Structure 1
């Protein structure tokens, strides 16, 4: 009899536990909410700020200016060149054309909600400075209200390698 009473007590205790349990769906929903709250607290930026960043690749030579806007994964958002703004070949690298390029980019990017940029400026290999349009593009983007997070010069510089065509004194007319 003593054994039967212990078994009965265990069965009654299990029944009470079953009655007290909350349905598993509600528990799962609460866990998901708690996890998303904890992720936002731990990560310094929310998901909206990650989407509002892009990378601007500016290639400037003394003949033309090319601007390529990508998202953080590298997918193209917009691409504008000096030739799309003007057809005069002597004006494609002009700082004024750089302003118009930046305006066109700003119009296309504002619709997507992008508010900040990482800027990568590149000029022709071996050139010590970028072309005249790069500075005006960055300047006009900041005037339009965009935040510049980083400016990086990615111009390629040779480390030794083959001799440059044209000789020591360069090409002469």
Structure 2
């Protein structure tokens, strides 16, 4: 499966958010946006990652950086996830996995020693011009946001 690299045009998407309203990548043109892909809402690793983004949203926003999370979960599950953990950034539903595939965030992976098809936890920083500035594949949920903040050149907020 092809993977995106720095300088590639970020594949555009329009997906429903937790309220069923369409959100498009082009809605963020003119500012950086972190687009992260996660396997399933309400699971331990995905909850840790989402809460880390939530807890650092003010620092990101102060630098005009938006955050968008995408999973293959249905809209209803995303709404429960958002409400349960007070997530204030868009969570988008990609049930047909077209966007996941376009970003190289869906494919073969190893899970408990078995090769399976599934979501590859991945994060992309898309520049204001719509091009990939950073691409991270196979990230670990715990500590990922802190490493991402370091990569972006600022200290994680307490």
Greater relative contact order (CA < 8 Å, ≥ 6 in sequence): 2
State the TM-score, normalized to the length of structure 2. Answer: 0.26
Please state which structure has a larger fraction of its residues in helix.
1
Whose strand fraction is larger, Structure 1's or Structure 2's?
Answer: 2
The structure that has the greater radius of gyration is 1
**TM-score, normalised relative to structure 1:** 0.24
